[in-house]
Structure 1
Amino acid sequence: MAGSPTETNLQSPLLERVPKRPRRLASVVVTTLVDRIVSGDLPPGAPLPPEPVLCETFDVSRTTVREAVKVLEEKGLVRARQGSGTSVTEEDDWNLLDPMVLSATVRYDDELRVLDQLVEVRRALESQMAAQAALAATDADLREIEAVLERLTAQTRIPEMFVETDVAFHDRVMTASGNRLGRAIVRTVHAEARTSLRYTGHPRPEDCELSNLGHAQVYRCLLDRDADGAASAMSAHILDAWRRRRPVPRPS
């Protein structure tokens, strides 16, 4: 007996033959130009190469180049002016919450200024959210945070596992705060920062143990519903952890 129309559609071999969409050519242009701009090869005020040059360089159409330039404008890296072409913007105009821009900025941040600023942003926002969590966390939230803390305690001798669970601990505290916007901002900047070894470092078991003392202090303040204490503990924990792993800046 033939299957129902729904079953036939779900099992159709045509679904397996749908080709994957090729990587958009504009993304190659964007990635290359973001790197050139952030690295300083194309400094602020410099004109972007004209369309014919970009078309020849990347072997793409004018339509693809225009699409790429539009994306660069959305990232705040270039500005197009009627009659004067497209030029690179000042660094203050760059959208550092854009993952591609932030990743490239961290990569070329020889003096670690952006990473220092990122840690300060994390410290300010997560401290506030820890205070909010101390007042807003439900009993279920606290049990889940405790469970993550127990995993961390068991993993202090296994740094590669500890650092992943560390992210989960911070995220669980932020979730308990109810501050969705603050959590989204921290998750965005932290995800890109963690792709850099200069940010994550090479933690040793003793580093993990020290870091976990900070986690435990935050948790105790949450249990006590001590908003000021939770904020202070989270602030100290984030700053101390960064000071331990912060590398020596590269000489300029």
Structure 2
Amino acid sequence: MSRPSADTAGVSRHTRRRPPLAAAVVRSLATAIVLGEYPPGTALPSAGELCDEYEVSRTVIREATTTLAEKGLVATRQGWGTVVLDQEQWSLLDPLVLDALFQREDRLVFLDNLIEIRTTLECAMAARAARCIDGAQAAVLASKLDELASLRDDPTAYARADIEFHEIIHRASQDAFGRAIVSSIQGKAVRSPQYSGDPTREHIDLTHEAHARIAEAVISGDPEGAEDAMRSHITSSWERRRPHVTTEE
């Protein structure tokens, strides 16, 4: 079976002194499993083989295997060894699993699903923010919108401030669970070029107009307007940057 790719953090002789070793092994194996190098139903290499592969002790391999099991990626089966589980059993919100999912060839499926989740959660949070926002939070949101306006010629800086704009609304909504879920999945997705895209100035201007509508509705205490503006913003923004996939007949 092929060795996991270099960028999945294989452990070399030069990194053996960097604790914890198990974390590096977990990242490498988790990525290999999610990317399909070890398909569901197959067994991982034996503990001895993994020790040789990563140049670590059996204790480290045991720790790594335990962590992979906690993430729902593997299970120990008598007579079979450590077996890879089906995707339905994976902890999909786990940071390592998410990171690997957005590296897969079929990542667009997961990115589309992410947009659906964002739309559901963020529309509700925008409506709640319109009901709950106080004067101080409204001032912070208005200030962030002004900052965004000044960054329209700098796509990288605008993207960072864009995330902060949404986080202000999340905090104002007082929806701790929604905020945590969106932050978790989006934090990994933004590393995918297909998610972030390569926005033009025209696209940034359209995004900024959407931000202005959201801010106006939230600050004025208009829950329905905030919800509608957020839905339009997320879906239209994704439509602009989503890669168009063509299939050969």
TM-score w.r.t. length of structure 1: 0.87
Q: Does residue 1:68 correspond to 2:64, yes or no?
A: yes
Q: Determine the C-alpha separation between the residues in 2 that align with 1:51 and 1:43.
A: 18
Question: 1:17 corresponds to which residue?
Answer: none
Q: Does residue 1:195 correspond to 2:191, yes or no?
A: yes
* Letter in structure 2 aligned against 1:155: L
Counterparts of residues 1-252 of structure 1 (less than 5 Å): 22-110=18-106, 112-249=108-245
Q: How many residues align?
A: 232
- Give the superposition deviation at 1:77: 0.8
User: CA 1:75–1:95 in structure 2 vs 1: closer, same or farther (change >3 Å)?
Assistant: same
* Letter in structure 1 aligned against 2:216: R
Q: Determine the C-alpha separation between the residues in 2 that align with 1:100 and 1:248.
A: 27
* Letter in structure 1 aligned against 2:50: L
Could you tell me whether the CA contact under 8 Å between 1:34 and 1:72 is conserved in 2? Answer: yes
| Identical columns (%) | 40
1:113-146 CA distances to partner (integer Å, 9 max, x unpaired)? 0011111111111110000000000011111100
Could you tell me whether the CA contact under 8 Å between 2:91 and 2:97 is conserved in 1? Answer: yes
- Give the superposition deviation at 1:192: 0.6
Q: Determine the C-alpha separation between the residues in 2 that align with 1:164 and 1:249.
A: 27
* Long gaps (5+) in structure 1: 1-20
- Give the superposition deviation at 1:248: 3.0
* Letter in structure 2 aligned against 1:225: G
Q: Determine the C-alpha separation between the residues in 2 that align with 1:109 and 1:231.
A: 33
User: CA 1:218–1:99 in structure 2 vs 1: closer, same or farther (change >3 Å)?
Assistant: same
- Give the superposition deviation at 1:111: 5.2
**RMSD of aligned alpha carbons:** 1.7
- Give the superposition deviation at 1:180: 1.2
Q: Determine the C-alpha separation between the residues in 2 that align with 1:112 and 1:209.
A: 25
Could you tell me whether the CA contact under 8 Å between 1:201 and 1:246 is conserved in 2? Answer: yes
Could you tell me whether the CA contact under 8 Å between 1:110 and 1:250 is conserved in 2? Answer: no
Aligned to 2:82, the other structure's residue is in SS state strand
- Give the superposition deviation at 1:28: 2.3
* Letter in structure 1 aligned against 2:180: A
- Give the superposition deviation at 1:24: 1.7
Could you tell me whether the CA contact under 8 Å between 2:75 and 2:83 is conserved in 1? Answer: yes
- Give the superposition deviation at 1:249: 4.2
Could you tell me whether the CA contact under 8 Å between 2:51 and 2:57 is conserved in 1? Answer: yes
* Long gaps (5+) in structure 2: 1-16
Could you tell me whether the CA contact under 8 Å between 1:145 and 1:172 is conserved in 2? Answer: yes
Larger CA Rg, structure 1 vs 2: 1
* Letter in structure 2 aligned against 1:40: G
Could you tell me whether the CA contact under 8 Å between 1:103 and 1:193 is conserved in 2? Answer: yes
- Give the superposition deviation at 1:26: 1.2
